[in-house]
Structure 1
Amino acid sequence: MNQQIRKSVAPAKGMQPALVPEGLFDLRYAAFLETVSHLRVKLHRYCARMTGSALDGEDIMQEALFEAYRKIERLDDAQALRPWLFRIAHNRCIDFIRNRRARQRAEAGYAGDDIVPPVEPAGPGAGRAIERLVVHLPPKERACVLLKDVFDHSLEEIADLVGSTTGGVKSALNRGRAKLAALPAQPVAAPAHDPELARLLDRYVELFNIRDWDGVRTLASADARLRVSDCYNGLLSASPYFVEYERSELPWRMRRGAIGGEIVLVLDRLYGDAWRPAYLVRIHAADGVIDHITDYYACPWILDMASVDAG
């Protein structure tokens, strides 16, 4: 299997993929994504729960997958594909948390040799509840609890992934489980209210739904970036993004919504007589102008997670 992976996605001789994919993704990368498709839902869940955001988790997973693609020649054992991808994703998550300065606040929470009484894992069916709450733990404890109590990795696998020992993992698990057991009930986060962004998104939705593509383009800066999962990363102006929507004959509409306390745009499609959410679009703006659009059309697992969180 690993030989097939390497042959199908290896860059042509003398070529190296860029550090960040730019423009339309090539066929070799598409082949790699297809090869690892069976792991993507779990990878996304892990990244989403580590970061506390389904959308940030998808962005990090996309970066981790491209890093894995660039380094595929280093994978000698096909059986190691899953832990290898999780390790890359884990490291990306830790970088994200560090950049958010959450790690510095949490470092004091896991000194190496603390003695903590053993705490039993939550019973069957508690995995989803654990996933919602682990964001309150320091990064190492968060990773250990997720990997053991949600993804059922062995202590040895977790130790290798987080750069620790089995004893260190046991200690982190005990601390994490104890903290989770002591947490009060957490209220559902309300979307942050940004009147300026709300007005901009409402205008975007209005123009989008009447198919005024020139009007939509005026809402974005000249150097606005676009990322369409599994497909494109680059300048919005250099992409066929709105042209593809213009050509589409599928019945769809856009509306403003929210996921995990963040305002997003929801693309609904008509199935029979019912409108149902198909995927999400994330808009970032600066000084009242759109400077980044991320389209998650190829990521149905985000909606699955959002429906769980809303339940």
Structure 2
Amino acid sequence: MSAVTAELISRARAGDGDAFRELTEPYRRELQVHCYRMLGSIQDAEDILQETLLAAWQAFGAFEGRSSVRTWLYRIATNRCLNARRSAGRRPAKEWNVPTVEPPEPTRLGEIVWLEPLPDALLEGATAVPLGPEARYEQTESISLAFVTALQVLPPRQVAVLILRDVLGFHASEVAEMLDSTVESVTSALKRARAGLRRSWPAADQEPPPGSDSPAEDVLVARFVSAWESADLDALVALLTDDVFVSMPPMPFEYEGRDAAERFCASIFRSGRRFDLVRTRANGQPAFGAYLRAPSGIRHGTGLYVLTLSGDSICAMTHFDKSVLPWFGLPRSLPNQ
């Protein structure tokens, strides 16, 4: 511990709010992302982050420095997230609410309807955190929508152990202390979590995506935009993998496979709805604000599409409702062209 850090800790223990903020601010963004991985919702993550910082401030007088401030904050945040997961007060599913579109029969009704996208702007400074020696996943991989969705299926304690061990690389002894558990219990939970993740996360069987903002990604994205804006169903379907997956939280409708995805997209295009797309990024993936063209010329925001890429194809499309647009700095409507 440096002399500067020791002095800040001493001042914060004595009730110096500025010293406390100086100690904790460097970890704020990574803690928010940690809470997002645990909860799958950026709104819930922000709430738990605020609870964590308040709890840390209130308890800082008893901080003994046996662990680093960062580890201590992760302990508080993780346990707050566990409490939130166990309370199960999640967003309910919404009914189909797209006028003029009669959706085809879904493959199934999904259960992770509280999932929300994470703006890439919030990842700045959070994906370059120092990882422990036992981390197994790249930071960008572990923030993808598919990974975060798979985490929501696991029991809460297994989620905490897997993130702390395999994503952040904390030692088993550190995780055991954070969770008031034993190393043996942590090791057992991690084994079960890894097995559960393999069942619900297909990334290992997919071709890796092109690099972010690479020429290959730009070409694929441009083809998608052209097909979607012109309602060219054949061109769109040609971009999809055989096992493409379409979902739309908080609506539970899910479509799996190219034929099912084609039927869903056809129902939108046949309705006469036409869109303009505005590019952004979410969860390290290409994303687009979707704006419905109106006879008045004004284009109204209807939601956000996030694409998951595999090689030169699209293996998943996730649609979120229009309430998320402001998180990405996108307007609720676009003026006349």
Q: TM-score, normalised by structure 2?
A: 0.45
TM-score (norm 1): 0.49
